[in-house]
């Protein structure tokens, strides 16, 4: 019962079989989408650059992957935000409002 709860909560490290299954899924989805791992990695870098313009993120934990659900391919981004560091634009001044 405890192992079921740990899996449900996510406190258990995945087994090697689970990791292999996830890697195989990634390979199959990547093949079907014609998106090479190199392109996916470059796209991840560009997505990180755009997000960093607005939010502070933990770049080392960003995970962008392709998933197959209901015969459709989804691009899924898992982007952890830094605590209490959400970007807030500077307050507008009278000078900013006068600009077209």
Q: State pLDDT tens for residues 32-70.
A: 667 777 888 898 899 999 998 888 888 888 988 888 788
Confidence of residue 12 (pLDDT cuts 50, 70, 90): low
pLDDT for res 36? 79
Which whole number is the average pLDDT over 68-87?
79
pLDDT for res 75? 86
Question: Percentage of the chain with pLDDT > 70?
Answer: 60
Confidence of residue 26 (pLDDT cuts 50, 70, 90): low
C-alpha 68, offset from chain centre: 15
- Tabulate helix, strand, coil % of the chain (nearest 5): 50, 25, 25
User: What is the helix (H) or strand (E) element at residue 21, kind and residue range?
Assistant: helix 16-33
């Amino acid at each position: 019962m405890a192992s079921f709860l740990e899996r449900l909560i996510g406190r258990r490290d995945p087994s090697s079989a689970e990791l292999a299954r996830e890697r195989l899924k990634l390979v199959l989805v990547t093949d079907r989408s014609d998106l090479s791992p190199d392109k996916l990695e470059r796209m991840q870098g560009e997505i990180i650059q755009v997000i960093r313009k607005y939010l502070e993120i933990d770049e080392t934990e960003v995970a962008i992957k392709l998933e197959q659900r209901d015969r459709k391919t989804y691009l899924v981004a898992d982007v952890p935000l830094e605590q209490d560091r959400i970007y807030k634009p500077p307050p507008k001044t009278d000078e900013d409002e006068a600009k077209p």
